[in-house]
Every structure is written in C-alpha cells, then in structure tokens.
C-alpha cells in the first residue's frame, strides 16, 4: 500500500505571530518555520502503518517555496521514502491545493491519503474535504484512532458529543486530529539518511492547475488587548453587571 502525506511549511507554533507594520500580513522575517503540527501527526501515523507492514511506501508532498525542502527532509527523516515539492512562491488557497493534490494522486496512485485536519497559519480546515469531493473518495475527518484492515480503514473520530467510529473503503482520505499519536523525534542517523532520499521538484504548470489567488487580504491586525477584570462581592452584583454593563443577559 502506498500512502501520500501532504505537509505544509508554517511558522513554528512556539513563536508569537507578528503583524507587519503596514498591516498587509504576518511578518515571517528571520523566524523559524517548521512542519504544520497536524501534518506531522499524519506523517507519524503513516510511518507506524509502514512499521506494521501495512504500508510499503510513503510519499510526502508539499506546496510552497523552495525552502519547503527542509520541511520535506523532516518528513523523510521521520520515515517517509521520498518527497515531491510543488514550487509556489505565494500562499496557495485550499481549493488550489486540493486540485494539485488530485493531480499528484492521479500520478502516484496511493491507496490512502493522510493529512492534517487544518494548518495552524490559516486554520481553514478545508483541503481534505475538498480533495475527497474532487476525487469522489470516501473521507474520515478528525481521526482519533485509525485501524487499517484489508481494503478498509476503521476510523474513530472526535465529535462534539464524544467519539464516533466510521469505516471507509480504500482508497480514502483521512484527516488527523491532535490526539491520534505523538510524533517521534528524528534520530541523527535518519536525518543523515534523509539527505540522500529523493525530492522531485515540480511546478503547478506540470499538473495544469491554476494557483492564482481568488481572495485578497485587505488588512491584518492583532486582536485587541483584553481589558482587566473586576471583582464582585455578591451574586446579585455579578448578575447586575452582566445584565446592565456587559449586556449578555
């Protein structure tokens, strides 16, 4: 079984986001970039399936600038076999990403696609669902636990009321949630081996996909600072403030 794992290069989650002085976007100058945490979980799950003998090959694919090769190398060090970088120097919207991934899937013919449920930079949570619709493949989102048995995957997914189990026939799209697993740290020998693993360089034109933005960002601003709270002595005073000052009752 071949598994495809799309990954995204994002600002490291440990860093504070800074808005550019002209409010045109987020300032990424000299800041550490890393793999989207949800995608890292997806790669880990694919590697675990390979270690169990269920998967035979893992292909990591990323869409972004040339520096995204570093992110692909991280996936290769974790256990992916090879990478594909579709070089794009601007942000690509979810629908364009889904169309590119559809073209990659047509060329690679994987039986399972693992990807994060969302990216922490735009929080769109759309690509997996759009990809499943374009391919007309079954999908299971927000995976909490995944079990592959023959030509079927059983996915326990997180929902508002708790957990839900669904079974999907392969090939299928699975988007993963935070509690699926804990990604491994790549060992130094595997990091060295990852340098020799192949990364194919592609362009959107190779797949006949238009990635021109359809949306325009007008302004980016930091959220307003929270005002200080106040202490109340009685429940009646709290209710009065909620009703007459906050206007929530």
Q: What is the pLDDT of residues 116-140, one digit of tens each?
A: 999 998 899 999 999 999 999 999 9
CB crowding 59-93: b at 16 or more within 10 Å, else e: bbbbbbeeebbebbbbbbbbbbbbbbbbbbeebbb
What is the rounded average pLDDT for all residues in the chain? 92
CB atoms within 10 A of CB 150: 8
Domains in the chain, start-ordered, CATH in brackets?
A: 2-244 (3.40.50.620)
Q: In 3-state terms, the chain is what percent helix, strand and coil (to 5)?
A: 30, 30, 45
Contacts of 56 (CB under 8 A, 6+ apart): 1, 2, 50
What are 171's two structure tokens? Answer: 């090939």
Residue 110: DSSP 8-state: -
Contact between 222 and 18 (Cβ < 8 Å)? no
Q: What is the pLDDT of residues 177-188, one digit of tens each?
A: 999 999 999 889
What are 86's two structure tokens? Answer: 């579709």
What are 94's two structure tokens? Answer: 């979810």
- Residue 25 pLDDT grade (very low, low, confident, very high; cuts 50, 70, 90): confident
Q: What is the pLDDT of residues 200-237, one digit of tens each?
A: 999 999 999 999 989 888 898 888 888 788 888 999 99
Of 93, 99, 103, whose CA–CA distance to 213 is shortest? 93
What pLDDT does residue 111 have? 95
Q: What is the pLDDT of residues 38-97, one digit of tens each?
A: 999 999 999 999 999 999 999 999 999 999 999 999 999 999 999 999 999 988 999 999
């Amino acid at each position: 079984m071949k598994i495809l794992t799309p990954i995204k290069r994002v600002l490291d989650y440990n860093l504070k986001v800074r808005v550019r002085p002209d409010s045109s976007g987020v300032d990424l100058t000299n800041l550490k970039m890393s793999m989207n945490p949800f995608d890292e979980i997806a790669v880990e799950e694919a590697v675990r399936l390979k270690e169990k003998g269920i998967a035979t090959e893992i292909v990591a694919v990323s869409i972004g600038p040339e520096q995204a090769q570093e992110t692909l190398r991280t996936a290769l060090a974790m256990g992916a076999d090879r990478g594909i970088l579709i070089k794009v120097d601007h942000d690509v919207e979810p629908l364009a990403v889904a169309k590119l991934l559809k073209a990659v899937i047509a060329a690679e013919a994987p039986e399972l696609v693992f990807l994060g449920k969302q990216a922490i930079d735009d929080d769109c949570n759309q690509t997996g669902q759009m990809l499943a619709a374009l391919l007309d493949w079954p999908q299971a989102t927000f995976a909490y636990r995944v079990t592959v048995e023959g030509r079927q995957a059983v996915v326990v997914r997180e929902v508002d009321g708790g957990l839900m189990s669904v079974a999907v026939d392969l090939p299928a799209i699975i988007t993963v949630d935070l509690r699926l697993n804990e990604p491994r740290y790549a060992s130094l020998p595997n990091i060295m081996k990852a340098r020799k693993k192949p990364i194919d360089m592609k362009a959107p034109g190779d797949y006949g996909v238009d990635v021109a933005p359809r949306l325009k960002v007008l302004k980016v601003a930091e959220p307003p600072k929270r005002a200080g709270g106040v202490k109340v002595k009685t429940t009646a005073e709290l209710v009065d403030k909620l009703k007459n000052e906050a206007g929530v009752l």
